[in-house]
Amino acid sequence: METSLAEGNVRPRSCVSATLKQILCGLIVSAGMVEVGFVVGWPAVLPALQRDNSSAFNVTNDDVKWLVSCTGIVGMVTNVFAGSLIEWVGPRLLLCLLLVPASAFWILQAFSPNLTIFIVGRIGGAFIATVFTTLTNPLLAELVEPHLRGMLSCLPEMVVASGVLIVYVLSQVLPWQIVTGICAVPFVPLFGLALVVPESPFWLVRKGNLLEAEQSIKKLRDSRGNATKDEISEIRRSILNHPQTTVMDQVRQLGVAYNAKPVILLVSIFILREFGGQYAVFSYTVYMFQRAGIDLDVLTGTILVGVVRLLSTITSALLIDRLGRRPFLIGATFGCAIAETLGGAFLLVKVPGANWVPLVAVLMFVLSYGLGVGPIPWVLLGELLPTPVRSLGASICILCFAAAQFVIGYAFPELTSAIGLGGSLLVFAVANFILGLVMFVFLPETRGRSLHELQEIFSFQPPERPLIDVSADDESNSVESR
């Protein structure tokens, strides 16, 4: 149960039908993130494209670097205006408007007559993936109740993992052009499903549309009693106490310490997460396995990576609301660091007969990534960003994420040429160790807290933040008034 912060009364959890409606809504909103999975996993077709003598254009090794890393450049440019675009159009409406163009850009890539058009399709897909990344988790956090937020906020990462796995599997059995065309398929039917999702009540209240906000909540909640009106009142108080109207208002709000602190923390997490090597592992998987000399069919190993990522992400979604975000994320980060240290050390030492060790290290990294490093930062993006700076803060975080992703995507081949794959993994391990320490010191637990309470969480220094959340169980847990 959750305590209403304003009135001190206890708001019961929603009924089964309301829970099912929120889960369905979460699935539809999260499904757009398959675009991100396709964009990240699609480079698995590039070796086949390079070998294809019948294609209308040739792809060089330099082209591969740009095709992989251009998503970071697009992300940096897109996030200059993504927050303003989301705030102007509305997150749910913008999601709907971009689904059909997402399909069109994949078709453009599949049937490109030359390399220029091919790159335009890749850039267009990366643009849409960036916008989806920026809006999905904040929208989910604003639509669902706290007791469902952790599980449902993991759905986008599960969808991303599924998209990566689909491309990995298809690239093993189908020509690259057909794989690219298949990536266009999900978005048209998804457009029809997205039309039934209500708009964010937070966005509607900010726009002064209180009646529409109330209707939005009623579509997803148990409408009995005064629960809907209480939630609208809480949202209104949150926005009145911390107004968010224009981009300049949000910029001014960033000057307030308790608004700036969570943004700085999340920026640090996303940058160090990327410097920990996840984009290199998932976008250069085929090339990494080839370079490591792993005694396994390269594409089979790639599919194995996708399966482990998906299963571990599902496990995280099932447990995150029981064990909390903080222990999962910190433990998984150190797990990634240990895996990279192990794999890097064996590649540098070159122990005879130990070619299986890098494969085990990669799978251990992927397992740890799926359990925490992959999904939980996106959960925190929806939870920790205060309402006054939510759109701008999300844009800043994704901008820094995209910049770090570009650096890793473009520099990874050069880094491996300079210090080897083993040395590169050790560099990534250092970044993950630093990330784990940063979160151990500064990251609070967010499990079970309303967005209203989380908005105030950085306005003071808590006297104690245990690694494990020891609050009361789900049947009796209530949010303490601060």
103 close to 187: Cβ distance less than 8 angstroms = yes
The confidence score (pLDDT) of residue 274 equals: 92
Q: Region 23-52: what's the mean pLDDT?
A: 89
Sign of torsion, CA 437 442 443 444? Answer: positive
Encoded tokens for 166: 């689909």
Whether residue 463 is predicted with pLDDT greater than 60 in this model: the reply is no
CA distances from 452 to 51, 188, 473 (A): 55, 36, 21
Q: Region 441-452: what's the mean pLDDT?
A: 79
User: What pTM was estimated for this model as a whole?
Assistant: 0.71
User: Of 159-163, 263-267, 410-414, 476-480, which range is least confident?
Assistant: 476-480
Nearest to 347 by CA among 273, 429, 229, 269: 429
pLDDT digits (tens, 9 = 90+) for 419-431: 988 899 999 999 9
In the structure, how many helices (H) and strands (E) does the chain have? 24, 2
pLDDT digits (tens, 9 = 90+) for 148-172: 776 777 788 889 889 988 998 898 8
Q: Rounded to the nearest 5°, which phi and psi values hold at 2?
A: -125, 135
Whether residue 41 is predicted with pLDDT greater than 80 in this model: the reply is yes
392 or 311, greater pLDDT = 311
Q: One-letter amino acid identity for 19? A: T
Angle subtended at Cα 432 by Cα 431 and Cα 433, rounded to the nearest 5 degrees: 95
Instruction: Determine how many CB atoms are found less than 10 A away from the CB of residue 159.
Output: 24
Nearest to 141 by CA among 453, 321, 318, 384: 384
The confidence score (pLDDT) of residue 106 equals: 96
Whether residue 479 is predicted with pLDDT greater than 50 in this model: the reply is no
Q: Region 224-237: what's the mean pLDDT?
A: 64
Domains belonging to the chain, first-starting first, are: 14-197+242-454 (1.20.1250.20)
The per-residue pLDDT of the chain, averaged, comes to 81
Could you give the count of Cα atoms lying within 13 Å of 300 in the half-sphere of its Cβ? 4
pLDDT digits (tens, 9 = 90+) for 89-142: 999 999 999 999 999 999 999 999 998 999 999 999 999 998 998 888 788 888
Whether residue 469 is predicted with pLDDT greater than 50 in this model: the reply is no
Encoded tokens for 38: 């396709």
Show the beta-strand stretches assigned E in 292-371. Answer: none
Whether residue 332 is predicted with pLDDT greater than 90 in this model: the reply is yes
Q: Rounded to the nearest 5°, which phi and psi values hold at 11?
A: -95, 120
Whether residue 285 is predicted with pLDDT greater than 50 in this model: the reply is yes
Report percent pLDDT > 90 for the chain.
27
Q: Is 13 exposed, middle or buried (0-12, 13-18, 19+ CB in 10 A)?
A: middle
Q: One-letter amino acid identity for 447? A: R
Q: Region 47-65: what's the mean pLDDT?
A: 82
Residue 251 confidence class, pLDDT cut points 50, 70, 90:
confident
Encoded tokens for 373: 């490093």
The confidence score (pLDDT) of residue 95 equals: 94
Residue 374 confidence class, pLDDT cut points 50, 70, 90:
confident
Q: Region 377-382: what's the mean pLDDT?
A: 82
Q: Rounded to the nearest 5°, which phi and psi values hold at 3?
A: -85, 130
The confidence score (pLDDT) of residue 354 equals: 63
User: Of 192-206, 370-384, 440-454, which range is least confident?
Assistant: 440-454
Whether residue 12 is predicted with pLDDT greater than 80 in this model: the reply is no
Q: Region 180-186: what's the mean pLDDT?
A: 95
